[in-house]
Structure 1
């Protein structure tokens, strides 16, 4: 068992990491409290049943799997069901799933009766290495990602690597791109783990989430240093949004997006090699004008540009206000790794 604490004064909470943790989850829950599990319909029944079996009188609410469910319609439907269950401010939601579930459930918790507790049980690599910690909750507005949301920290995070055993290989690779991001920006030893013949994925999960924890403690609401976690997202988000059928996963697009902002050619080549070893897709032939439009409507955009994250060498990220003309030039000329 590994335990960490996100220290945020009254908003502090623990992170537990352990194989087979979900088998004894009841040890951490209040038997006198009502819990409602929020999970998409793609989560294997075995994990839903394992969690719900340990919650007396617990309820399970499911929704359609996929980014399209981070919408006002899904939010409203789930909010209505919570009201029909007559939940009170003393009750608690459980986000059992990946990043979409965590974002959606967290936003429900932030809004229901002006705020109730929720617990994160991440079931994807992406959520186990990144999104389950930090309290960013949101839904999309059309194709604009995470435009409507709130900072609402969970009560606890329970990470059980065993749940990854039922995960699609593509999802595993996409999630690892977020961990790779952490290595590029903060920790060369984490980057080196990816280059080993047999990477230690338990170490990758634990180190990634520890780095995320430290950053959140320093800058809970992204006023400064936490912006560094957006490395790979400025153009990556726009590429993701430009494919309306969600052809590419979030982590895949983050992997693509990082290459635009690595300034050292040797590091860029090194990262491209890791992305290839993870079977992540190369930058596709995207609609350049569509990508530009989505980038300009990014929630992080400012008058005249965006605070983009550049990396000159490992562990040396820099936030630079970059005008749209420059960013559009990047989009017109995708990076070529020789």
Structure 2
């Protein structure tokens, strides 16, 4: 697993501005996005294996510790940690503050092969590990430079890559050199994996506080220790699927969970203000009801509708259980059902 380190770096000048907003250009893609598969009866019947990790709690102890430190130490991004802890100051939480760690994740509704990226939750899922799927926080594209959705693959890998500025980056920052060699001033970091989409990469960063945020120009950025770990294990040709799933549903131990991400407006507001999340924008139950009913299947009578509405309203970004334990009558009916 990746080695976790505390952070404390600084970056100045025009390179800082570009590193914060990312290193990839906006581009027109030739490949059409692959449709997200629906919940199949087999997947619904399995009722297991859709969720990885567990929720954890953390109590701060260092008065200088902030959410950037906590997020990196716990394999989380800044935004997801802020959303899970409304009311906690992200920059000065203070000692003895209870922090919820959203380290439990529903797997995206996509083929469990290679790399799957869900831009809505700012996370990457890797399905090539021996111990099962792994998840990593990401930095993705901001408005105007959104990370594309669809299917591609890893076509090239390069350690210590040079950064070649695009036409738009040269236009925005003419004072920069056309090529930035490997080193501490290179926003690609020490490792890069090039996608089949021209000018889009999964790469490291020299500004790790941008991970878990929508601040790039479309590229997918990872903590330095995470991209190093992944780079060593992902072969060329590995399929990469990018989805944008705000609502995810999954089973664990016979119980159904829902995970609802904050809206892009809420995320952008947090980016602009650097404060705790604003009030969420509730998702209408009618908008998600058909999906929930389809995944619940024969367990529809067990659905906890108040819990579902609460999850859609609060959008806390981690899984919430939405099934009730079956009562004696339901257990008897299930036993006697032909």
**TM exceeding 0.5:** no
> What TM-score, normalized to structure 1?
0.25
Larger RCO of the pair (alpha carbons < 8 Å, separation 6+): 2
> What TM-score, normalized to structure 2?
0.25
Based on CA coordinates, which of the two structures has the bigger radius of gyration?
2
Query: Which structure dedicates a bigger proportion of its chain to helix?
Result: 1
